Amino acid sequence: MQSHIEIDAVEDEPTGLARFYATARRFMRNRSFAIGAVLFGSVVLVTFLGPLLTDVSPNALSMRNRFQPPSFDNLLGTDNLGRDMFARVIYGAQLSLMIGTSVVILNAIFGVMLGALAGFYARLDNILMRIADALMAFPAVLLAIGIAAALGPSSMTAIIALSVVYVPRTARVVRSSVLVVKELDFVMAARASGATDFRIIMKHVLPNSMAPMIVQLSFVFAYSVLSEAVLSFMGLGAPPTVPSWGILISEGRAYMREAAWLTVVPGVAIAITALGLNLLGDGLRDVLDPRMKVEEG
């Protein structure tokens, strides 16, 4: 087995880059994926390059410049305390992407682990899936804000709450593809030749259940961005001193009449991010496995 991998690696090396381009071209030819990649890519770019474009701190007060509409000096205007909205929205983006990424990573780890265990061991399956059913019986956002209320508001709370909500859903997706893959001939053959369960899961089952999981994770990312905004809007996510997108909307709410951009801008930022991720998910689904069904919601 060891030598087999080495041979693969040797063969791969010269064609690696070419293969990467070929794959990239296949993905970019899918319109959903291409638009999604551009949208989400620009959100990521602005998030990380943004701090270089503006030297203003998101919390710098300027009482003289309160409620400035968008202008050259303040690209997205200023708020009730004269703070620069562009800097604040970019800070919010960092927070949102950080929380989304964390939830996705936790989903990848625990969703795959629990899904693989449930799919592979019928006895565990029953218990794990009943637990998942119970967690999924609660409306997603209600469960998240319930957990967040108990843990107390913080970004960590948001990450934990959203993971508890979405891990069962990811585990279900992984489980159902594991159930299919496990019956395939080459897995049966590996089993017959005496490979351990762990080895079969790592070498055969997981690589072959990757496609639905990747699609699911891109949707989880989108849901996380949206739900985190709800949590922080309700005061259950990031503390109020941190300009997360939900908090920006909640602060802007009081000035909707005179300074609508304070509410509009962070909402549009959320929408663009979620739209990009949803399009990415659709595109991945089309390209990776057109017949696949991912649980929505």
Partner 1 sequence: MIGYTVSRLLQAIPILFLVSLFAFGMIYLIPGDAATVIGGPEASAADLEEIRQNMGLNEPFYLQITSFYTNLFQGDLGKSLMLGTPVLDAIIDRTPITLGISIYSLSITIIFGLVTGIIAALNHNKLLDQIATLFALIGISLPNFWLALILIVLFSVHLGWFPTGGYVAFSESPIGWLKTTTMPAVALALLQAGLLTRITRSTMLEVLSQDYIRTARAKGLSEWVVVGQHALANVMMPVVTVLGLILSVLLSGSIVIEVIYNIPGLGSLMGNAILSRDFPLVQGGLISIAASLLFLNIVVDVLYFWLDPRIRIKSRD
Write out the residues near partner 1 by the rule CB under 8 A. 130-131, 133-135, 137-143, 145-147, 149-152, 222, 226, 229-230, 233-236, 249, 253, 256-257, 260, 263-264, 266-267, 270-271, 274-275, 278-279, 282, 296-297
Whose Cβ is closer to partner 1: residue 119's or residue 281's?
281
Residue 82 or 235 with smaller CB distance to partner 1 = 235
Nearest distance in Å: CB 169, partner 1: 11
Q: Which is nearer to partner 1, 54 or 138 (CB)?
A: 138
Q: 78 phi and psi, to 5 degrees?
A: -130, 165
Min CB(214)–partner 1 separation in Å: 19
Residue 207 or 239 with smaller CB distance to partner 1:
239
Nearest approach in angstroms of CB 204 to partner 1 is 30
Backbone angles phi, psi at 196, to 5 degrees: -70, 160
How far apart are CB 138 and partner 1 at their closest, in Å?
5
Between 195 and 234, CB nearer to partner 1: 234
CB-based contacts of 289, cutoff 8 Å, min separation 6: 211, 212, 215
Q: How far is the CB of 140 from partner 1 (least distance, A)?
A: 5
